Amino acid sequence: MRVVGVLCLASASVSGFDWMGKIKMPTVKNLGQMMGAQAKFGDKKLLVVTGTSSGLGKMTARAALRTGDYHVIGAVRDLDKMEIVAEMEEFDKDSFTAMECDLASYASVDRFCAELEKFTMGRPIDRLACNAAVYQPSLDHAKWTEDGHEQQMQINFLSHFKLISNLLPGMAEADDARVVLVGSVTGNDNTVGGGGVYPVADLKDLEGLAHGAKSPISMIDGYSFNGAKAYKDSKLCLMMLSNLLHDKYHRSTGVAFASIYPGCIAESPLFREKRPWFRKYFPVFMKYVTGGFVGEEEAGQRLFQVVHDPRCTKSGVYWSWNGGPREGRGAEALEKGGQIMGAGGAGGGWDSIFENDQSNKVVDTEKAQRLFRYATAITGAEWPAANQPISPCPTLTVIGAVTNMLNAKEEMARMKASERLGDVDILGQPIIRSDGSQPPAVEVLNPLAEGAFVAAKFFEETAKRQAGGLLGELPDEAVAEDPAART
């Protein structure tokens, strides 16, 4: 009994048993993989960044490589372009690997993940930065991916959704794993940039996703196409997804989920489809009038900070930086190239990071759940069960088996005596079970309860056989009537 008690206390003393999910029994195969991965990567962490051939992704990769702490995997559509960029930026070839991943194709995402698993040799991914995006505000019609979705919807959101689902089980095995999603002030309508500039991000009732979001359905809300709104909606989806993944998986996997707004990168290739006059004057306006301008290099440092900084291990956060506009800019702004501290734009450095507020739309948990279900069905994503590790205490194993048996008997009797209440809820909506099925109008016996009863009988017999071996016979002192015999 003392041994059992020590086991229970020792296991309970470890925070939430999180360590248990990361234990693997050593085999010849995984020992060989571990040795191979160590020779290949050393002690470097593995960082996957989507869209490293330009803009924010390129600068994030550069910042990470300069530390020498990371092996960066650049997930890019054009390997030839990436090769040229890597050479021009003088990326360390031993610490940077480009791999093809076209976010306009679910098949390409799956191939990337399969190749990534081979490349990493069993070493879990430590960091994932979902950065790649396309912005098509000037289009008067939608462009479609090979999967039949509007490009901004799939490239910015749906394919990243599928990518995370593929990589999450492996990332759960890493220490201090992080998933960072690049959001936008335009998806957060509690600010001037998000709520004061037409069009405003709004997913409405998700009718477009509910109907599959395939051509001719071009928008998440199901209404007619608007290129600028499609981009903002996709960023809103990413920020909602970050919160939902935090709620659903952070405790069970240990992975930290966060979204960020790195600032307005007014000179980014993201604006390549904007009109020439806009590309010329927008950076000037953002730098010297609003103060919201952020250069690519500084933005890359910001994304890298959330990937790297120990202060950013917190999950469920929307990170921003305290640089930018303030009153009385005038000549001082011109003298300093627009780099005046305030709230939102350039300047301030790493110490200016803060946990930003999120709008009512971003924190709408009910809508986020529906967004998750629809996106899962559309992409074919397979998510791990959000299960908590279970105590290894042998007492729980034995007593739990007996309890399951008794519970199954009671539940079977209780459910056998009841009739189903119908297949429609109080709001007139269909009732859907946790397994996705719809209950019949009348049901005398739940077959799941009957199955549980049979399983419980097996556990009961097993528990009886194991109880003696695990717990041993009770000592005479434990059952003696004379209190003196217990001393």
Do residues 392 and 19 lie in contact, with contact meaning Cβ atoms separated by under 8 Å? no
128 vs 485: which has the higher pLDDT = 128
CA gap 257, 247 in Å, rounded:
9
Which backbone phi and psi does 299 adopt, to 5 degrees? -60, -40
Cα–Cα distances (Å) from 119 to 113, 124, 144, in that order, read 10, 11, 31
Q: Could you give the 3-state DSSP secondary structure of residue 219?
A: coil
Domain boundaries, the chain: 21-379, 394-486
Using the predicted structure, report yes or no on whether residue 428 has a pLDDT greater than 80: no
Sequence-distant contacts of 100-104: CB under 8 A, at least 24 apart = 100/76, 101/50, 101/75, 101/76, 101/77, 101/163, 102/77, 103/50, 103/77, 103/132, 103/154, 103/155, 103/159, 103/160, 103/163, 104/77, 104/145, 104/146, 104/147, 104/151, 104/154, 104/155, 104/159
Summarize pLDDT for 353-383 with one digit per residue, the tens: 889 999 999 999 999 999 999 999 999 999 9
Q: Check residues 190 and 3 and name the one with the higher pLDDT.
A: 190
User: Six-digit token pair at 138?
Assistant: 């000037």
Residue 287 has a pLDDT of 46
pLDDT, position 406: 78
The Cα–Cα gap between 310 and 390 comes to 28
Residue 209: its pLDDT value, please?
Answer: 97
Max Cα-Cα span within the chain: 97
Helix (H, G, I), strand (E, B) or coil at 417: coil
Eight-class DSSP state of 341: B
- Over residues 118-122, the mean pLDDT reads 96
Q: Specify the DSSP class assigned to residue 150.
A: B
CA 268 to CA 184: how far, in whole Å?
14
Please compute the mean of the pLDDT values over residues 329-338 and round it to a whole number.
Answer: 45
pLDDT at residue 444 in the model? 45
* Structure confidence at residue 473 (pLDDT): 59
pLDDT given at position 290: 44
Instruction: Give whole-number Cα distances, 481 to 68, 314, 478, 484, in Å.
Output: 70, 56, 9, 9
Cα–Cα distance, 209 to 218 (Å, whole number): 9
Write the pLDDT tens digit of every residue in 255-313.
999 999 988 764 445 444 545 644 444 444 444 444 455 778 889 999 999 999 999 99
- CATH of segment(s) 21-379: 3.40.50.720
